[in-house]
Structure 1
């Protein structure tokens, strides 16, 4: 069930004094996408890209560890639109193991000759593939655990998907177009399999379909809710976790750097793990029982009316007291005993 409200994206200038706590307070807590124009305009990579693709390639190769990574390689007929095949069994592209140097060369060749296959390589951890790169690309308001990843390729489109971490996406070369849908559009995007994906995350099949596609009638309710954002080199987009985004690289040669982190984590456990466990524990119970569990999840977890023990003094909240006061470990230990059957 969707709310019918269009997605909202605001623009703001990066605050020079932001630290992780300030960014969480001023931006991330609202769980809304925010465009940060010019955040990476002074990065060495962005300046090199402004001069030429070759200068950017030379800059990157200066850090190259020589590792191979998986690249998507698409025939000219797909126009860089990497997706499932017609039957959802396979995909409309091939996968090849390439080094960074090979990928850069193949991107340049395809950009010069549209008859060549397009190439896309994404999510390369800079600390592994480009050791030293992160020193030139630090973002002061991100926690130290948020490390840069590199995404590069020809003009193309990555299918609509979500991340389970907060995401800061910074354009270095080319332009990017993000088409965004809020998390509550999940039921109308006709999401594909969660265990047979192109790159790890399930995708909204309807978002890339032609208008009026009879396979996805509910999508027409949310098509106009999308927000479209275009980023130039140096611009960045903060994407909260669970926001759906289709990403288009608009130039023949493109490079993006992103960072993933969880700004509100209380420990190692992630919400998506809880969701997966709830699927096997609750999803196939009778409707009336699922409704009863929904009431308990609302009361104890989502807390629309505040703390579930607000009628008691804090000293009597027990393990429902603040997680930072030792209750995270107590609850986790209890859960682990239950999972072991203890």
Structure 2
């Protein structure tokens, strides 16, 4: 049976408390963190949110997911991994929000629009959606839809998901379960990130036998408008919009980056340079990665004075030298 995600009162959270949550790399529900947003107050009704969004709308075009009523808002692959069970349609943001705000009638397709950068689509809104313990968080993205289920996936960045309208149910799996989630293709996805095939399948699906043994390790939470969920990078998460009209605003960021290089770039490089070498050699490279990169027990040069650590000194001092060496090697 799934456990509940830890929940805290977000209304009085300060910067130090927020940083401590992020440093622990565990998901936490922050109740009432953004309840003060005018956007949340406006979204008490679908038409209220539509009117509020219209004040900032720049007139941009969006790509909407449109699903037949038969899929019940579960946007996923089709019968094979070569296609999907929904269509993509281009429309203006104003048209999409108006369609979402209209009363639902039987037989009408479901609609979902996501990951809209508010700086581009709703300029001026950013000033109204500051997060108190981290007012410098920018680049918010808006997600609006009918009842929906976004398949289990992970993000490459830390994620603060703030519910604006409706209710959301989040189901999370820790990163170490990746091998038991039966992840789909990296380069044929619905919205950029690969998804778990097993988590979207009926319980007990014989194609995914290992998933049954880890399904009860899921963490679950339901959020109301004004609540937020902090999700560390690489945590797998399924997102369900439970109300006929749902809206969410999220922020992605990397609070621990020493530079602009995404960690996943190293994974891709390792895939082409290591993944198909003989097992014995892969084991040797794994030992090297553990020693120099993951450092489970100690700094790799702890037996030397700090002055002799060279490029293994503090990364804020050695980042440029290491990156220059990497680029020279890639250029041959």
TM over 0.5: yes
Contact 2:130 2:137 in 1 (8 A): no
Deviation at 1:92, TM superposition (A): 0.2
Q: Deviations over 1:25-59 (max 9, x none)?
A: x1011110000000111110111122x21111100
1:217 corresponds in structure 2 to 209
2:240 matched residue in structure 1: 248
Root-mean-square deviation (CA, aligned residues, Å) is 1.5
2:10 maps to 1:9? no
CA contact (8 A) 2:169 2:240 kept: yes
What corresponds to 1:65 in structure 2?
Answer: 58
Instruction: Kindly tell me the number of residue pairs found equivalent between the two proteins.
Output: 332
Question: Equivalents in 2 of 1:216, 1:329: separation in Å?
Answer: 44
Offset from partner CA, 1:128-152 (integer Å, 9 cap, x none): 0000111000113337363211000
What is the aligned counterpart of 1:329 among 320, 324, 332? 320
CA distance in 2, matches of 1:184, 1:7: 17
Measured at CA, do residues 269 and 22 of structure 1 come closer, stay the same or move farther in structure 2, by a change above 3 Å? farther
Write the distance in 1 (CA, Å) between the matches of 2:159 and 2:221: 15
Matching of residue 301 in structure 1 with residue 293 in structure 2: yes
- Contact kept, 8 Å, 1:7 with 1:180, in 2: the verdict is no
Tell me, in whole angstroms, the C-alpha distance in 2 between the residues paired with 1:6 and 1:41. Answer: 27
CA positional deviation for 1:18: 2.6
**1:16, distance to aligned residue in structure 2 (A):** 4.0
Q: Does 1:102 align with 2:95?
A: yes
Structure 2 runs not aligned, ≥5 long: none
Separation (CA, whole Å) in 2 of partners of 1:108 and 1:44: 18
Distance in 2, matches of 1:34 and 1:245, equals 13
Q: Distance in 1 between matches of 2:46 and 2:127?
A: 21
Superposed CA deviations along residues 199-252 of structure 1, whole A, max 9, x for unmatched, are 000000100111111111111011111111100011000000000000000001
CA pair 15-29 structure 1, distance change in 2 beyond 3 A = farther
C-alpha distance in 1 between matches for 2:135 and 2:209: 42
**Does the Cα contact within 8 Å between 1:9 and 1:32 map onto a contact in 2?**
no
Contact 2:4–2:220 (Cα < 8 Å) also in 1 = no
Q: Write the distance in 2 (CA, Å) between the matches of 1:328 and 1:141.
A: 29
Give SS of 1:208's match.
Answer: coil
Contact 1:8–1:33 (CA under 8 A) maintained in structure 2 = no
Report the counterpart of residue 181 of structure 1 in structure 2: 173
Cα deviation for residue 112 of structure 1 reads 2.1
Q: 2:47 aligns with which of 47, 54, 73?
A: 54
Aligned partners of 1:281, 1:33: CA distance in 2, in Å?
Answer: 33
Q: After the TM superposition, which residues 1-342 of structure 1 pair with which residues of structure 2 at under 5 Å, given as runs?
A: 9-14=5-10, 16=12, 18-19=14-15, 23-24=18-19, 26-50=20-44, 52-109=45-102, 111-142=103-134, 144=136, 146-325=138-317, 327-341=318-332
CA–CA distance in structure 1, aligned partners of residues 270 and 100 of structure 2: 43
Q: Is the 8 A contact 1:181 1:245 kept in 2?
A: yes
Matched position secondary structure for 1:87: coil
SS of the residue aligned with 2:115? strand
Distance 1:339 1:145 in 2: 34
Q: Quote the Cα distance in structure 1 between the aligned partners of 2:130 and 2:326.
A: 37
User: TM-score, normalised to structure 2's length?
Assistant: 0.97
Whether contact under 8 Å (1:7, 1:182) holds in the other structure is: no
Query: Residues of 2 paired with 1:134 and 1:102: CA distance?
Result: 22
For 1:171 and 1:153, locate their aligned partners in 2 and report how far apart those are by CA, in whole Å: 12
